[in-house]
Amino acid sequence: MSFQTYADLWRIPDVRRILVLGLFLRIPMPASAVIVTLHVVGPLDRSYAEAGLVSTVLAIAMAISAPWLGRLLDRLGLRRTLLLPLAVLPIAWSIAPWVGYLPLLALVAVAGLFTVPSFSIVRQVMLRSVGPGQRTAALSADAIMTELGFMAGPVIGVLGASYFGTSWAMLMIQWLGIAAAVVLWLINPRITEGDPAIPSDAVPSDAATSDAGTPKSRFGPPSWLNPGVALLLAGTFTASLILIAEDLGTVAAMRDFERTALLGLVMAIWALGSLLGALIYGALNSHPSTAVMLVLLGATTVLTAFAWDPISFTVLLLLSGFFCAPTLTAALEAITSNVPSSVRGEVMGWHGSAITLGSAVGAPTAGFAIDLIGWQGGFVLGGGLGLLIAAGIWLTTRRMSNPAEASLPPGEKSPAPAE
């Protein structure tokens, strides 16, 4: 284990610049989630269910847009792709804070469809800027900055809503993200490997042929999709489902323990565990596979259901949090290592959609389990599904290893969770 890797990463100008800029691109996501909820139940005088519908619509829109905008990144480059969000988002978010509920719902859907693909862009710049031996550390560094953003975002959202009101807070936090996107457009970092003299908005793309030179079908699955990548996306979906189950289960548990006032602190400790896990995972010399990380995440999630008081619950939740970010990082690293760099934007978009859909499916499912057997239900359901699907990934990968090799273009490795 060596933390020197992170120091080496920080010395790379493109890495340092995109990590800081990425933080400002992402903070508006968790901040606006809090602000919009407070706005719907406050000034708009609607129910929490209606506030949840806004979040669901946004999640679905972002799940649709991520692969689409990721593909545009691959074909058109960064600057041309960002022109769409930069044309739509300022209009949508400048109007949204001042309208009624139904127009807000429509504007949030439009904004979600044109959300800046920050996760894809940051990770592509990171992977392009580092050597093969630094890939996992780079993705872990990105996960650390993401956790920092999702820890700071809700705090900023609550403070903004308290001091300026929800409408002005929504406007300001979204314009912070838009300003960061403008800076990104001006800096225009390269997102693919190649000649440094070629700007990212001049990356050639041929939709008719694959990287191996074989024709690409305009219909059917994309050329990069194979059983190994599909399994890794399933693992990503499952990890996201576990995380939303833990999220809802934590709220229910603190209410059951009659310690609701401590909820923010407990959630912050959980996020801290995820941050520390990403930090250590990236510093390891040998990295466990996605299936192993999913087993550890699932097992510690089930273990949390055996907590007997707020202290034991927080300790077990911290332990489970330790495997949150590393599980998603392991899956993403395995996926990006085994697809051509020319389609990384689209692939990362699908990875983001798997996370979003996992949350969308996990929320009502975990809620049903909590209603049925109490707060423990969310942890047992999420962790149990994680263990089952991790076992399925591991068994299927072993059985299909040879066919998976054969399905890939020459020179590519089979993207198995064991890698």
CATH number at residue 227: 1.20.1250.20
Q: Is residue 138 part of a domain?
A: yes
Joined tokens for residue 77: 């480059």
Length of the chain: 419
Q: Is residue 203 part of a domain?
A: no
245 plus 188 within the same structural domain: no
- The alpha carbon of residue 271 and the mean position of all alpha carbons in its chain are separated, in whole angstroms, by 14
> Residue 1 has what pLDDT?
56
Q: Where does a domain end: 175, 193, 211?
A: 193
> Residue 207 has what pLDDT?
40
> Residue 108 has what pLDDT?
92
Q: Is residue 176 part of a domain?
A: yes
**Distance separating alpha carbons of residues 380 and 376, to the nearest angstrom:** 6
250 plus 122 within the same structural domain: no
188 plus 227 within the same structural domain: no
186 plus 271 within the same structural domain: no
167 plus 235 within the same structural domain: no
> Residue 268 has what pLDDT?
80
Count the domains in the chain: 2
> Residue 205 has what pLDDT?
41
- The alpha carbon of residue 222 and the mean position of all alpha carbons in its chain are separated, in whole angstroms, by 22
Unique residue bearing structure tokens 């690409």: 216
248 plus 181 within the same structural domain: no
> Residue 133 has what pLDDT?
72
44 plus 176 within the same structural domain: yes
302 plus 349 within the same structural domain: yes
> Residue 275 has what pLDDT?
85
Amino acid at 210: S
> Residue 223 has what pLDDT?
64
**Distance separating alpha carbons of residues 280 and 127, to the nearest angstrom:** 19
What b/e sequence results for 392-418 when a residue is b if at least 16 CB atoms lie within 10 Å of its CB, and e otherwise?
Answer: ebbebbeebeeebeeebeeebebbbbb
Strand partners, 209: 215
Beta carbons of 105 and 96 less than 8 angstroms apart: no
Q: Is residue 218 part of a domain?
A: no
164 plus 238 within the same structural domain: no
Q: Is residue 207 part of a domain?
A: no
Q: What is the pTM of this model?
A: 0.70
Alpha carbons within 13 A on the beta-carbon side of 154 = 11
Residue-by-residue pLDDT tens, the chain, 419 positions: 566 777 777 888 888 888 888 888 888 888 887 788 788 888 888 876 777 778 778 888 888 888 888 888 878 888 898 999 999 999 999 999 999 999 999 999 999 899 888 888 888 888 888 777 777 788 888 888 887 887 788 778 878 888 898 899 999 999 999 999 999 999 888 876 653 433 444 444 444 344 444 334 444 556 666 667 777 788 888 888 888 888 878 878 887 887 777 777 787 888 888 888 888 887 776 777 778 888 899 899 999 989 888 899 999 999 998 888 888 888 887 777 766 666 777 777 787 778 877 877 777 777 778 878 888 888 888 888 888 887 877 777 666 555 444 444 444 444 444 44
> Residue 52 has what pLDDT?
72
CA distances from 304 to 97, 145, 150 (A): 39, 26, 22
Strand partners, 215: 209
268 plus 182 within the same structural domain: no
Q: Is residue 409 part of a domain?
A: no
Beta carbons of 127 and 344 less than 8 angstroms apart: yes
229 plus 179 within the same structural domain: no
122 plus 232 within the same structural domain: no
Amino acid at 143: A
**Distance separating alpha carbons of residues 399 and 324, to the nearest angstrom:** 27
Q: 274 CB contacts (<8 Å, ≥6 apart)?
A: 143, 147, 321, 322, 324, 325
> Residue 102 has what pLDDT?
93
DSSP 8-class letter at 412: P
Q: Is residue 280 part of a domain?
A: yes
Q: Is residue 216 part of a domain?
A: no
Which structural domain range is residue 167 located in? 1-193
